[in-house]
Amino acid sequence: MALNEDGESWIWTGLSWATVGAGGHDELTLSVPTELFMGLTGQELTLDAQGANLIFSGPAAGGADDPTFRSLVDADIPAAIARDSELHSALTLSGTPDYITLSGQNIVRGLIVLTTDVTGLLPAANIDPAIARDSELHTSFLSADADTLIATHAAIGGSHHVAFVEADADALIATHAALEKPTCQIYGPTQATTSGVNTVMTMDTTVIDNDSMADLDNDQIVIKTAGVYMLQGNLDFAHNTTGARGGSIWSPTLGYLASYFGAPTPTSPYGTTLVVFAIVELAVDNAIKLRRTQVSGGALNVSGGVAINKSLAATLLFET
């Protein structure tokens, strides 16, 4: 292309020179599709700004058409490189208990509770040798070792202890029996008494009896081991200031073994308590009873129901 002195533009056609025209060339314009992404200012072409995440492409579906700016659709991506659910089935976890759990796309490792989740024995390979407790930590104990231990014990036995044989056991039992003295205590319920009548006290409860001496059917204690006994009788008379009160320990075969007779306690609002005491020698089958008498001019109760109110006791001091 060249300009002559008149300012006209000439162009070589390959055969001759020809004028282009008074303006230089025909006016440049943009088609409608091109205006979607380009602009023309004078002789300058520019690119138009577009929104984020758009592509310049033909239609998303259907036949061919002018390209536009649009978002991607699944059909724009070849199946060979697509990464979505159609490439694999949904991921699930199975097993009980669930040692791992699935939350969305996250696999979470759980805790194993040895006391409930594990049964049987752990394989040896699961135990660190540094903490294992088996044969490598000690030597075997053989039969020969046992024989040596027994022989050693036998060699030192005589100097350290004597043999404990059946005769020793019998002696120990006999010694224990000797230390446990025959003892019996019985008591009875509250009982009404008549003035001037010597009455045997009824008994219905055993407190202690280690020699089968209690005879509640006959309100008495029967001696089973001959010897010297300490006897005690308790009587608790109802409150009354008239007359006198008496109590005794009595045997059907031996008669009176101990007795007391005296005036009531006039200042006590609770009545009069008597304690009769004796140390006597008794033979096997000797029986003892508790009796009382009162001279009040009327009926008078002897309180009972507990051992301290109306009771009889016998304890062996030594055998004869």
The reported pLDDT for the residue numbered 208 is 94
Query: Does the pLDDT of residue 30 top 70, yes or no?
Result: no
Please state, in angstroms and rounded to a whole number, the distance separating the CA atoms of residues 54 and 68: 9
What CATH number did the domain enclosing 249 receive? 2.60.120.40
In a domain, 308, yes or no: yes
In a domain, 99, yes or no: no
Taking residues 122-130, report their average pLDDT: 72
Please tell me the pTM assigned to this model. Answer: 0.46
- Asked if the bond preceding 129 is cis, omega within 30° of 0, the reply is no
Query: Does the pLDDT of residue 2 top 60, yes or no?
Result: no
Amino acid at 202: T
For all residues of the chain together, what is the average pLDDT? Answer: 80
The reported pLDDT for the residue numbered 133 is 66
The reported pLDDT for the residue numbered 13 is 64
Task: State the Cα torsion 42-48-49-54 to the nearest 10°.
Answer: -170
The reported pLDDT for the residue numbered 312 is 96
Q: Which of 13, 31, 47 is the last residue of a domain?
A: 47
Question: Could you give the count of Cα atoms lying within 13 Å of 189 in the half-sphere of its Cβ?
Answer: 2
In a domain, 97, yes or no: no
Query: Does the pLDDT of residue 85 top 60, yes or no?
Result: no
**Lookup: tokens for 140:** 């075997």
In a domain, 153, yes or no: no
Query: Does the pLDDT of residue 86 top 60, yes or no?
Result: no
The reported pLDDT for the residue numbered 55 is 87
In a domain, 218, yes or no: yes
Taking residues 31-35, report their average pLDDT: 67
Chain segment 197-245, per-residue pLDDT in tens:
999 999 999 999 999 999 999 999 999 999 999 999 999 988 888 889 9
In a domain, 262, yes or no: yes
Decide: helix, strand or coil at residue 252.
coil
In a domain, 20, yes or no: yes
Report the number of distinct structural domains present in the chain: 2
DSSP secondary structure, 157-190, as one string = HHHH-----HHHHHHHHHHHHHHS--EEEEE---
Decide: helix, strand or coil at residue 83.
coil
Query: Which residues partner with 101 through β-bridges?
Result: 108
Please state, in angstroms and rounded to a whole number, the distance separating the CA atoms of residues 127 and 137: 15
Amino acid at 262: G
Q: 182: pLDDT confidence band, cut at 50, 70 and 90? A: very high
Please state, in angstroms and rounded to a whole number, the distance separating the CA atoms of residues 28 and 20: 14
In a domain, 95, yes or no: no
State which residues form the domain around 217: 183-319
160 vs 301: which has the higher pLDDT: 301
